């Protein structure tokens, strides 16, 4: 009853789903509910049964959406109850998204080939970026994706089906079908919001990119911010051989020697531009506040780009692991690593709670007692006032490290 009271008063996202799906209460009442979180294999097995027994394409999309809603509730309840740490919650949300993307990728690809036929050597891969790539998702995270493809350069690039398509058009149309499967609104709601803007050339570029073009763009044209985004890239759906090929291209790009001074200067310019656009004076805007999440993430991405060539072990998609490796390699003083690592964990802990309760990263002045108590517990503080003071102190320390490291590297 205490848990349900907390859910109803402090976690509107969970509350609304429970109201729509009262059958989920059965899972909450199961004594085994808090024992084991389903792994990817268990989720895949259950989702495959649901999708393979669907009566139509529309029913299949509805089932995928209900599956996602159910699992989001089960993860959210564990977060609210304090039985699932934020880092594991981020991994759980990401694992769920990957399982759904892989399942729909396979099925959309199969149906697409039935309609349009095959192209010799055709391969497609879905690349996770952003929070999904870093396995730091929350209940409200969008999917930042890039779709890559390849085909036999010696063969006819026209598909052999009843409605043939040529080369780039073939893969662009497939990508549109996949995005539609993930985003379209059905009777069961929406699955995810998908953002493809991190693809080469952003909105101006094709929705699907050939691997050779992707590699050339990353080597010769990409800006620093695009390489920063690439530090979080992971292949989440592809054949093993093509997935390894894509991963090899990404690793090679990130391992290139770079001018640390120029990288640091670019990141400082970018951080100032974000501050001018979004503001950085509100402490509880955890993402954009001075010394907030963006500072920690940008610093970690700088470390990967500046030191990835000399230290390949620095190349990782998770902020916390990058900071830990930087400490082991003495690229940052131990005291800086401790401050940044604790800040990273704190921001993730609080963000998980906020995203279950609000539609934004920021906390307004009107905070319910239930949410205050939940945030204090997530931050491992005795009360909200103590947490608020600790957050302010943490952000001051993070900003000092951020400026010292990057301005020092940039020669500012």
pLDDT, tens digit (0-9, with 9 covering 90-100), for 126-177: 999 999 999 999 988 999 999 999 999 988 899 998 899 998 999 999 999 9
> In this model, does residue 22 exceed pLDDT 90?
no
pLDDT tier at 226 (50, 70, 90 boundaries)?
Answer: very high
Do 399 and 333 lie in one domain? The reply is yes
**Element of type H or E holding 124:** strand 123-129
> In this model, does residue 83 exceed pLDDT 90?
no
d(CA 335, CA 311): 21
- CATH number of the CATH domain containing 283: 1.20.120.330
pLDDT of residue 14: 80
d(CA 213, CA 70): 39
Average pLDDT in the 293-298 region? 98
The total of other beta-carbon atoms located within 10 Å of residue 156's CB is: 13
Do 243 and 379 lie in one domain? The reply is no
Tokens 């108590």 found at = 373
- Give pLDDT tens digits for 316-362: 999 999 999 999 999 999 999 999 999 999 999 999 999 888 766 66
d(CA 137, CA 134): 8
Do 329 and 390 lie in one domain? The reply is yes
Tokens 């790009």 found at = 253
The total of other beta-carbon atoms located within 10 Å of residue 158's CB is: 16
Least confident stretch, 35-39, 280-284, 307-311: 35-39
* Burial (CB count <10 Å: 0-12, 13-18, 19+), residue 63: buried
pLDDT of residue 17: 79
Contact between residue 133 and residue 232 where contact means Cβ atoms under 8 Å apart: yes
- Give pLDDT tens digits for 45-62: 999 999 999 999 999 999
133 or 189, higher pLDDT = 133
Domain's final residue, options 238, 254, 270: 254
Do 101 and 237 lie in one domain? The reply is yes
The tokens for 391 are 């957050």
Q: What is the average pLDDT value for the chain, to the nearest integer?
A: 92
pLDDT of residue 77: 87
Beta strands 143-150; 194-195: pairing state: parallel
Domain residues for the domain of 312 are: 260-410
DSSP state for residue 204 in the 8-state scheme: G
- Angle formed at CA 79 by CA 76 and CA 82, multiple of 5 degrees: 150
Cα distance between the two ends of the chain:
57
Do 246 and 297 lie in one domain? The reply is no
Do 52 and 188 lie in one domain? The reply is yes
> In this model, does residue 88 exceed pLDDT 80?
yes
Helix axes 12-20, 2-10, angle to 10 degrees: 110
Contact between residue 376 and residue 308 where contact means Cβ atoms under 8 Å apart: no
pLDDT of residue 359: 66
Query: How far is residue 322 CA from its own chain's centroid?
Result: 16
- Name every residue whose Cβ is closer than 8 Å to that of residue 277 and which is 6 or more positions away in sequence: none
The tokens for 411 are 């020669």
pLDDT of residue 112: 96
Least confident stretch, 72-76, 112-116, 288-292: 72-76
d(CA 358, CA 371): 10
Domain's final residue, options 217, 238, 254: 254
The tokens for 191 are 């699955």
Do 244 and 266 lie in one domain? The reply is no
pLDDT of residue 36: 76
Do 163 and 191 lie in one domain? The reply is yes
Average pLDDT in the 276-302 region? 96
> In this model, does residue 202 exceed pLDDT 90?
no
Range 245-279 burial, b when 16+ CB lie within 10 A, else e = bbbebbeebbbeebebeebbbbbbebbeeeeeeee
Average pLDDT in the 248-256 region? 95
- CATH number of the CATH domain containing 89: 3.30.460.10
Do 207 and 296 lie in one domain? The reply is no
Query: How far is residue 192 CA from its own chain's centroid?
Result: 12
Domain's final residue, options 233, 254, 275: 254
Average pLDDT in the 282-299 region? 96
- Angle formed at CA 354 by CA 398 and CA 374, multiple of 5 degrees: 95
Do 218 and 266 lie in one domain? The reply is no
> In this model, does residue 119 exceed pLDDT 90?
yes
> In this model, does residue 412 exceed pLDDT 70?
no
19 or 221, higher pLDDT = 221
Q: Can you give the C-alpha Rg of the chain in angstroms?
A: 22
Tokens 């907390």 found at = 6
């Amino acid at each position: 009853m205490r848990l349900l009271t907390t859910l109803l008063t402090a976690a509107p996202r969970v509350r609304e789903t429970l109201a729509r799906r009262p059958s989920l209460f059965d899972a909450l009442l199961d004594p085994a509910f808090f024992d084991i979180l389903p792994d990817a294999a268990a989720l895949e097995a259950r989702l495959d049964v649901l999708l393979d027994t669907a009566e139509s394409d529309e029913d299949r999309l509805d089932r995928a959406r209900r599956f996602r809603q159910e699992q989001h509730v089960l993860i959210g309840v564990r977060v609210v109850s304090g039985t699932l740490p934020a880092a594991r919650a981020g991994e759980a949300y990401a694992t769920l998204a990957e399982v759904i993307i892989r399942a729909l990728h396979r099925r959309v690809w199969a149906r697409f080939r039935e309609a349009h036929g095959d192209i010799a050597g055709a391969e497609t891969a879905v690349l996770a970026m952003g929070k999904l790539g870093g396995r730091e998702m929350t209940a409200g995270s969008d999917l930042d994706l890039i779709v890559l493809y390849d085909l036999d350069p010696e063969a006819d690039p026209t598909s052999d089906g009843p409605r043939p398509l040529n080369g780039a058009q073939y893969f662009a149309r497939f990508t549109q079908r996949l995005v539609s499967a993930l985003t379209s609104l059905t009777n069961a709601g929406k699955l995810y919001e998908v953002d493809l803007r991190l693809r080469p050339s952003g909105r101006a570029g094709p929705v699907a990119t050939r691997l050779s073009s992707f590699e050339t763009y990353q080597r010769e044209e990409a800006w620093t911010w695009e390489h920063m985004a690439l530090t979080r890239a992971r292949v989440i759906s592809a054949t093993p051989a093509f997935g390894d090929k894509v991963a090899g291209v990404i690793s090679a790009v990130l391992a290139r020697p770079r001018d640390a001074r120029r990288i640091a200067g670019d990141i400082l310019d970018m951080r100032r531009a974000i501050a001018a656009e979004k503001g950085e004076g509100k402490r509880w805007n955890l993402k954009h506040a001075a010394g907030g999440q963006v500072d920690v993430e940008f610093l970690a991405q700088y470390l990967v780009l500046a030191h990835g060539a000399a230290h390949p072990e620095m190349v990782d998609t998770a902020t916390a692991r990058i900071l830990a490796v930087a400490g082991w390699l003495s690229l940052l003083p131990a005291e800086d690593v401790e401050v940044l690592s604790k800040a990273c964990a704190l921001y993730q802990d609080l963000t998980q709670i906020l995203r279950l309760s609000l539609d934004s990263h920021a906390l307004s002045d009107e905070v319910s007692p239930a949410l205050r108590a939940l945030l204090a517990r997530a931050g491992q503080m005795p009360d909200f006032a103590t947490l608020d003071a600790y957050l302010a102190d943490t952000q001051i320390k993070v900003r000092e490290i951020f400026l010292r490291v990057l301005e020092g590297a940039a020669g500012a």
